[in-house]
């Protein structure tokens, strides 16, 4: 470790500390900590006893996970700093002078301590936002991996989010599990098959068993936050996630590219909901799209019988009705009183299954491996 490098590192760390101290002082003192932030501080401070850095907060994969979006984690990228420290330590181990090694080690430890301190300080200033539980039903088809890739990397931008990916399959598809691990959004990969009796229907109630499995998981594992059914064939503006996470009961907003009207939306007059605009009403009380509403987790828990019916076209309506009592006046309107479109039902065009591979012609080529990915 060169002295100049050491000085540079020390300078960066001191600047960060001074900045954060001033930032802390500029915020009115918070008199009542939430229990969670106290726990956070305790958890973090005990880890400072470890000699090597453990970056608990940014690496947690529990539903209440912090992710890097929360200022100032972003500003002081914890992971990068730690990785850097590790890398430099490795280099210094190959160096000949033991004293330099020691210095480096101390500096690394100091860096880790500084990061931990900064984290505990900031987590008490900014308690994490309510968690979001995203329920995504999916099934094996040519577009599956493509759609999950797009959705997954969208969700990756959102803090404190847990992704429930539920396949209509006998067992989880390995390629899907691998993709979820690679995208690295905190997730649970579950399966839920459509009951036998519906499988021969011409119009199948797709995604119902999956979504009900998701609701079951939430009832068993979540205690606060908001749930949202995010199908894999939509396009999502990030703003909608940060709006929906403060839903108290049920919130709604427009969804673009639905029916011949081009949009499905609550009709809003003077800031209150007065009906629904959707190309197909079909006698529904709530003629909305699956991507157009979110539900508070505690509100769901207070309705123990709420679930989605196996009734094509009436899944949303049936589920929202099962949350009764729920009046139209209680619906919280998002997307600036429903004047913006933050979700689009883009859908991928249906693709035919891939043709069989001519194995006499293409054996011992990459195509054999590629074929494993295709449906
Ligand atoms: C929605 O409309 C109401 C009533 O007009 C208004 O008070 C409120 O500020 C509006 N909200 C937004 C986010 O525009």
Handedness of CA 43, 44, 46, 51 (dihedral sign): positive
- Strand runs (DSSP E) across the chain, as ranges? 132-138, 161-167, 187-191, 226-229, 235-236, 250-252, 255-256, 263-269, 272-277, 293-296, 332-333, 343-344
Assign 148 a pLDDT band (cuts: 50, 70, 90). Answer: very high
To the nearest whole percent, how much of the chain has pLDDT over 70?
70
Instruction: Tell me: pLDDT of 215 over 50.
Output: yes
Ligand 1 centroid from CA 38, angstroms: 35
Instruction: Tell me: pLDDT of 116 over 50.
Output: yes
Ligand 1 centroid from CA 328, angstroms: 17
Instruction: Indicate which residue's Cα is closest to atom 8 of ligand 1.
Output: 271
The C-alpha atoms of residue 253 and residue 375 are separated, in whole angstroms, by: 35
Ligand 1 centroid from CA 79, angstroms: 40
At 39 the pLDDT is: 33
Q: CA 123 → CA 43, 115, 120, distances in Å?
A: 11, 12, 5
Instruction: Tell me: pLDDT of 310 over 80.
Output: yes
271 lines ligand 1 (CB under 6 A): yes
Instruction: Tell me: pLDDT of 356 over 60.
Output: yes
Q: Which atom of ligand 1 is nearest to the CA of 333?
A: 1
Q: Which atom of ligand 1 is nearest to the CA of 339?
A: 14
The span from the first CA to the last CA of the chain, in angstroms, equals 53
336 lines ligand 1 (CB under 6 A): yes
Residue position matching structure tokens 């947690």:
60
Pocket test for ligand 1, best of 252, 267, 337, 339 (most atoms within 8 A of CB): 337
337 lines ligand 1 (CB under 6 A): yes
Ligand 1 centroid from CA 68, angstroms: 31
Residue position matching structure tokens 């828990």:
301
Assign 104 a pLDDT band (cuts: 50, 70, 90). Answer: low
- Rounded (5°) CA angle 251-257-259: 95
340 lines ligand 1 (CB under 6 A): no
Instruction: Tell me: pLDDT of 75 over 50.
Output: no
Q: pLDDT tens for residues 232-280?
A: 999 999 999 999 999 999 999 999 999 899 999 999 999 999 999 999 9
Instruction: Indicate which residue's Cα is closest to atom 7 of ligand 1.
Output: 271
Average pLDDT over residues 8-22: 69
Average pLDDT over residues 80-87: 33
**What is the pTM assigned to this prediction?**
0.69
Instruction: Tell me: pLDDT of 348 over 70.
Output: yes
The C-alpha atoms of residue 20 and residue 35 are separated, in whole angstroms, by: 23
Walk me through the domains of the chain, giving residue ranges and CATH numbers. 3-125 (no CATH), 132-344 (3.90.550.10)
Average pLDDT over residues 74-99: 36
At 110 the pLDDT is: 65
Instruction: Indicate which residue's Cα is closest to atom 3 of ligand 1.
Output: 271
* Greater pLDDT, 106 or 164: 164
Whether 332 is catalytic is: no
Ligand 1 centroid from CA 272, angstroms: 9
The C-alpha atoms of residue 171 and residue 192 are separated, in whole angstroms, by: 9
The C-alpha atoms of residue 136 and residue 55 are separated, in whole angstroms, by: 29
Cβ atoms of 85 and 112 within 8 Å: the answer is yes
Averaged pLDDT of the chain: 80
Cβ atoms of 333 and 273 within 8 Å: the answer is yes
To the question of whether residue 224 is assigned a binding role by annotation, the answer is: no
Q: pLDDT tens for residues 159-199?
A: 999 999 999 999 999 999 999 999 999 999 999 999 999 99
* Greater pLDDT, 324 or 118: 324
Q: Which helix (H) or strand (E) holds 209?
A: helix 208-221
The C-alpha atoms of residue 96 and residue 293 are separated, in whole angstroms, by: 62
Instruction: Indicate which residue's Cα is closest to atom 5 of ligand 1.
Output: 271
At 80 the pLDDT is: 34
At 61 the pLDDT is: 41
Q: pLDDT tens for residues 280-309?
A: 999 999 999 999 999 999 999 999 999 999
Instruction: Indicate which residue's Cα is closest to atom 6 of ligand 1.
Output: 271
At 100 the pLDDT is: 53
At 33 the pLDDT is: 34
Pocket test for ligand 1, best of 270, 271, 329, 331 (most atoms within 8 A of CB): 271
At 20 the pLDDT is: 67
Q: pLDDT tens for residues 311-346?
A: 999 999 999 999 999 999 999 999 999 999 999 999
Beta bridge partners of 138: 167
Assign 47 a pLDDT band (cuts: 50, 70, 90). Answer: very low
Ligand 1 centroid from CA 266, angstroms: 14
Active-site residue, from 316, 330, 332, 369:
316
Residues 146-177 as b/e (b if ≥16 CB within 10 A, e otherwise) read ebbebbbebbeebbbbbbbbbbbeeeebeebe
Average pLDDT over residues 89-98: 41
- Give yes or no for a cis peptide into 281 (omega within 30° of 0): no
Assign 92 a pLDDT band (cuts: 50, 70, 90). Answer: very low
């Amino acid at each position: 470790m060169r002295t100049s490098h050491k000085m540079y590192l020390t300078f960066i760390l001191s600047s960060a500390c001074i900045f954060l101290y001033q930032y802390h002082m500029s915020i009115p003192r918070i008199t009542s900590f939430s229990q969670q932030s106290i726990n956070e501080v305790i958890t973090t401070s005990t880890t400072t006893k470890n000699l090597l850095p453990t970056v608990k907060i940014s690496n947690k994969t529990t539903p209440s996970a912090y992710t890097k979006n929360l200022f100032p984690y972003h500003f002081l990228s914890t992971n990068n700093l730690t990785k850097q420290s590790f890398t430099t330590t490795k280099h210094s181990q190959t160096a000949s002078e033991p004293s330099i090694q020691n210095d480096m080690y101390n500096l690394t430890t100091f860096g880790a301590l500084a990061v931990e301190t900064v984290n505990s300080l900031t987590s008490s200033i900014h308690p994490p936002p309510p968690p979001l539980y995203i329920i995504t039903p999916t099934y094996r088809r040519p577009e599956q991996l493509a759609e999950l890739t797009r959705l997954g990397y969208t969700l990756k931008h959102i803090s404190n989010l847990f992704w429930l990916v539920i396949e209509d399959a006998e067992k989880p598809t390995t390629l899907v599990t691998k993709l979820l691990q690679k995208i690295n959004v905190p997730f649970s990969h579950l399966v839920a098959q459509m009951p036998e009796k519906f499988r021969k229907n011409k119009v199948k109630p797709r995604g119902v068993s999956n979504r009900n499995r998701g609701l079951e998981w939430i009832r068993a594992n979540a205690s606060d936050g908001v749930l949202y059914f995010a199908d894999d064939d939509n396009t999502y503006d990030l703003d909608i996630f940060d709006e929906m996470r403060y839903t108290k009961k049920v919130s709604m907003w427009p969804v673009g590219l639905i029916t011949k009207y081009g949009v499905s939306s609550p009709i809003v007059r003077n800031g209150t909901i007065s009906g629904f605009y959707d190309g197909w009403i079909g006698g529904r009380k709530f003629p909305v799209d699956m991507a157009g509403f979110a539900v508070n987790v505690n509100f769901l828990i207070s309705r123990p019988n709420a679930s989605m019916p196996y009734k094509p076209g009436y899944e949303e309506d049936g589920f929202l009705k099962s949350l009764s009592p729920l009046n139209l006046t209680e619906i919280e309107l998002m997307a600036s009183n429903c004047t913006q479109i933050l979700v689009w039902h883009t859908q991928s065009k249906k693709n035919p299954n891939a043709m069989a591979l001519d194995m006499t012609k293409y054996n011992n080529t990459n195509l054999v491996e590629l074929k494993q990915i295709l449906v």
